Structure 1
Amino acid sequence: MRTKNLIAALGLLAAGLALGWGIARWTATPGAAPATHAAAPAERKVLYWYDPMVPTQKFDKPGKSPFMDMELEPRYADEGGADAPGLSVSPQAIQSLGLRTATVERRSIASHVEAVGTVQLNERDVSIVQARAGGFVEKVYARAPGDVVAAGAPLVDLLLPEWVAAQREFLAVRALGDAALTAAARQRLTLLGMTESLIAQVEVSGQPQARHTITVPGGGLIAELMVRQGMTVTPGMSLARINGLGSLWVEVAVPEAQAGTLHIGQAAELNLAAFAAETFKARVVSVLAETSRETRTLRVRLELPNPAQRLKAGMSAQVSLRGPSQDQLVLPSEAVIRTGRRALVYVVDAPGKFRPVEVGLGREIDDLLVVLGGLEAGQQVVASAQFLIDSEASLRGLLPVPPAVPGSGARP
């Protein structure tokens, strides 16, 4: 019975199939070809899956990333390679990476150098006190190296026998009443080194003056004092060295990368710890011709007025050197990838579309870099997570566009 039932069921199934095929043929449009299934949409071929945060690691199936709490992204075969104009990143990946962009701007940039300097004595304002004739030191006034003296202050009393004979001769000639001979004898006293006040004293008193007081020609600091009481002096012997204090030098060490904007006469502003509420004005008087080999800095000298003599040598100063302004392209320094041989940025061509560009860079101003070539004002560049994008671009073989200005700081 079971076998008969099975045979009967198979027969009914075969009859049903035959009936359905016959109806389909009967309802079909004459001359029309049998209906075919619609072509299924072509599926994109997946090469591998990857974690955008670790793009170098590849996986053969989707799932959770073992590195980050996020789904793996597919890499499709039709996304291009070295010839692709840019790199595409999904909105989900952009959000996960926390990607930020910045705009390349044109700004008026002034050359600005911040450095630390040290206040020093002005070596151009130096006076040397010498003996004009041979004699003996009779008295040394209370002076010592480091003392500050005013102009005309007495320094030492000398007994000068050599001048006595010339003074006696002058008095004898004057007694003759010959004006021409008297003028010649008086001129001889001047040539011997006698001051006008000493000659006038000889004329008034009618007696030779063997004692002569040497005074300080210009006020300032006694840097050296080479005379002591009882010494014998010879003509031309140096007795003291006086350094003027009317102006001081500030020696500044400027990094060689910023030294190209410096010039003689450039204005500077200084702030000193001893006078925190004041800003002092100075100017560049010298840019030394040699750079320090140890620190790679250039020495620059500023001249700082010191009329009240409040400023002292040895003080430290924060120096600000400003130059003329120029319109230049700038971008945030964090947007630049430096490889050692070149500098790269990633330009945003469209939402989720990035392209590597090689740029020429100038000096750095705060957190901005001057752009010399490769970019235009208004372009958007990647300011964060660009290293991950650069890793993916390297895997894809994307080559950066060279800068428009050759030799501007970046090298291919």
Structure 2
Amino acid sequence: MKVSVAGFTFALLAVGIGAVAGGYWLAQRQAGHGAKPDVAMAPERPVLYWYDPMQPEQRFDKPGKSPFMDMQLVPKYAGAGQDTSALSVPAQAVQSLGMRTSNVVRGVLPSGIEAVGSLAYNQREVANLQARAGGFVEQVYGHAPGDVLPAGTPLVDLLIPEWSAAQLEYLAVLATEDARLIAAAQERLRLLGMPRALIEQVRRSGKSRALQTLTTPIAGELQTLEVRAGMTVSAGQDLARINGLSTVWLDAAIPEAMAGTVQVGGEINANLTAFPGQPLQGRIIALLPSADPQTRTVTVRSELPNPTGKLRPGMFAAVRLNSEVELPTLQVPSEAVIRTGKRALVMLAEDDGRYRPQEITLGREADGRLEVLSGLEEGQAVVTSGQFLIDSEASLQGVMASKAEQKLPPGLHESHGVIRALDARQVTLEHGPFESLNMPGMTMPFALASPSVAAGLKPGDHVRIGARQTDSGLLIERLDKQGEQP
């Protein structure tokens, strides 16, 4: 099939004013509103079918109005050597459009992942201070939230009257030198919430001590201090909270598509704006289980040592995560890929000025290149400039993209066929040969592995078949809908 230079001039104008509106205008001209007919499009040729340029995959057996848009269906004419899967572009159009191509290559994408992160408190290094018994606040030692304190810093003095009477009884029991009574009295003091150090202090001094001084159990930032002099406190009441700063967390957000390349224990490198030229190293300690529904990112958490206390929660950092070492994969330039929202396409450049739309499956992206999981082979040429115009013209001409087929799981035998009957338990297939089984093509029923295998399918659909050999015969485990076979 050939396309005139004038047709591509119209396509260029169509892209300039919008793909949908331009496609409708160009389709109307090619349908008979003044465009010069091409030899391959001559009206005396028999009509194969009619189609809507905006939905070229849908074919109709008679002319009429499109059910999708307010326009007439366009005929597809038969022609010698016609190939409905490729588009022929004149050399003059290639030159005028400045089209460029690039080869599909095999290589290793950079394994590092660049991300932005922020420092946060290590929530595993937290201490809460509570009142062990009811009493009164005698003194507060002049500290406030935000202070960074060493371990053992006094915070508040509590007067606990209940302890005074119990300590006096304990001193009286000590005078009896009865070991069992002394042990029982000590246990009573512990049940009242008295620390062992305070019990030992009472025993050595021989004096009761109802005043308890609460100190910081760890070094860190005082985050809350919920007491004031003269307050009454009850047993179990929260009085203060301290968060340690010997280590901090670094949380970095990475695209969910890259989550599989990150492993717990992997190395990270971070550079903080506050300390340029002073890179930090750490280890990944967790890949958080939930993804952000708005940004579609996953949080990678690492832990950084902070011996000097210069790392402050809230600081931003540029992070590089070293992912697993990758094997060489097929790659194309990112600019060669046309993303439609539902699929990804490239325009294959073939001999004699022919261009074929090809659906592909994408993987990771790095340094302006995209990993191709299926749909292409090494050495093929793809269009990197002007591909949108070719795609627009291919849509108008009814040229459909070839679909990228995923490899079937190991153990499945492959064939192609048409569904003739279908229910929840079995499917009747008119299939071609199963080459791996030396089984000729025929029409027969097969059991389905589960009802979900045939979800969304109906009789008449062309399918790619994946079957497993069992003691009771072939079991259908995979049915992938395909375009109508020529």
How far residue 185 of structure 1 moved from its aligned partner, in angstroms, is 2.9
Does the CA contact (< 8 Å) of 1:109 and 1:325 recur in 2?
Answer: no
Partner Cα separation in structure 1 for residue 482 and residue 267 of structure 2: 35
Higher RCO structure, 1 or 2 (CA under 8 Å, sep 6+): 1
How far residue 375 of structure 1 moved from its aligned partner, in angstroms, is 0.5
Superposed counterparts of 1:4-403, under 5 Å: 50=6, 52-54=8-10, 77=40, 82-83=82-83, 86-109=86-109, 112-262=112-262, 264-327=264-327, 328-350=329-351, 352-403=353-404
Greater Cα shift, 119-128 or 289-298? 289-298
Per-residue deviation, residues 329-368 of structure 1 (Å, max 9, x unmatched): 1111111223344322222333634333221222332311
What SS class does the counterpart of residue 181 from structure 2 fall into? helix
* Aligned pairs, number: 350
Cα pair distance change 1:293/1:90, threshold 3 Å: closer
Partner Cα separation in structure 2 for residue 234 and residue 228 of structure 1: 14
What SS class does the counterpart of residue 124 from structure 2 fall into? coil
Partner Cα separation in structure 2 for residue 84 and residue 132 of structure 1: 83
> Which ranges of structure 1 fall in alignment gaps of 5 or more residues?
1-45, 58-72
Does the CA contact (< 8 Å) of 2:85 and 2:402 recur in 1?
Answer: no
| Structure 2 letter corresponding to 1:359 | I
Partner Cα separation in structure 2 for residue 351 and residue 316 of structure 1: 54
Per-residue deviation, residues 111-169 of structure 1 (Å, max 9, x unmatched): 65433223222223221111222222221111111111111111112222222222222
How far residue 395 of structure 1 moved from its aligned partner, in angstroms, is 4.9
What SS class does the counterpart of residue 230 from structure 2 fall into? coil
Does the CA contact (< 8 Å) of 2:263 and 2:324 recur in 1?
Answer: no
Partner Cα separation in structure 1 for residue 258 and residue 366 of structure 2: 10
Does the CA contact (< 8 Å) of 2:247 and 2:303 recur in 1?
Answer: yes
How far residue 371 of structure 1 moved from its aligned partner, in angstroms, is 0.9
Greater Cα shift, 76-85 or 333-342? 76-85
| Structure 2 letter corresponding to 1:326 | E
Alignment correspondent of 1:7: none
Per-residue deviation, residues 238-278 of structure 1 (Å, max 9, x unmatched): 21111111222333344444445455444433221111212
Does the CA contact (< 8 Å) of 2:255 and 2:298 recur in 1?
Answer: yes
Does the CA contact (< 8 Å) of 2:3 and 2:89 recur in 1?
Answer: no
Cα pair distance change 1:109/1:222, threshold 3 Å: same
What SS class does the counterpart of residue 162 from structure 2 fall into? helix
What SS class does the counterpart of residue 198 from structure 1 fall into? helix
What SS class does the counterpart of residue 136 from structure 2 fall into? strand
**Normalised by the size of structure 1, how large is the TM-score?**
0.73
Partner Cα separation in structure 2 for residue 164 and residue 405 of structure 1: 79
Alignment correspondent of 2:405: 404
Cα pair distance change 1:203/1:331, threshold 3 Å: same
Cα pair distance change 1:140/1:339, threshold 3 Å: closer
How far residue 287 of structure 1 moved from its aligned partner, in angstroms, is 4.1
Does the CA contact (< 8 Å) of 1:50 and 1:74 recur in 2?
Answer: no
How far residue 229 of structure 1 moved from its aligned partner, in angstroms, is 1.1
Partner Cα separation in structure 2 for residue 132 and residue 159 of structure 1: 11
How far residue 378 of structure 1 moved from its aligned partner, in angstroms, is 2.0
Per-residue deviation, residues 196-228 of structure 1 (Å, max 9, x unmatched): 432332232222222221111111111110111
RMSD: 3.4
Greater Cα shift, 348-357 or 220-229? 348-357
| Structure 2 letter corresponding to 1:378 | G
Partner Cα separation in structure 2 for residue 109 and residue 287 of structure 1: 22
How far residue 297 of structure 1 moved from its aligned partner, in angstroms, is 3.7
Partner Cα separation in structure 1 for residue 121 and residue 10 of structure 2: 60
Partner Cα separation in structure 2 for residue 135 and residue 51 of structure 1: 91
What SS class does the counterpart of residue 324 from structure 1 fall into? coil
What SS class does the counterpart of residue 109 from structure 1 fall into? coil
| Structure 2 letter corresponding to 1:50 | A
Partner Cα separation in structure 2 for residue 404 and residue 221 of structure 1: 57
Per-residue deviation, residues 12-45 of structure 1 (Å, max 9, x unmatched): xxxxxxxxxxxxxxxxxxxxxxxxxxxxxxxxxx
Partner Cα separation in structure 1 for residue 127 and residue 396 of structure 2: 72
Does the CA contact (< 8 Å) of 2:129 and 2:239 recur in 1?
Answer: yes
Partner Cα separation in structure 1 for residue 158 and residue 297 of structure 2: 49
Does the CA contact (< 8 Å) of 2:128 and 2:241 recur in 1?
Answer: yes
Cα pair distance change 1:290/1:48, threshold 3 Å: closer
| Structure 2 letter corresponding to 1:321 | L
Partner Cα separation in structure 1 for residue 3 and residue 276 of structure 2: 66
Cα pair distance change 1:205/1:339, threshold 3 Å: closer
In terms of Rg, which structure is larger? 1
> Which ranges of structure 2 fall in alignment gaps of 5 or more residues?
14-35, 42-78, 409-480
How far residue 191 of structure 1 moved from its aligned partner, in angstroms, is 3.8
Partner Cα separation in structure 2 for residue 198 and residue 361 of structure 1: 67
Does the CA contact (< 8 Å) of 1:47 and 1:74 recur in 2?
Answer: no
**Normalised by the size of structure 2, how large is the TM-score?**
0.63
What SS class does the counterpart of residue 229 from structure 2 fall into? coil
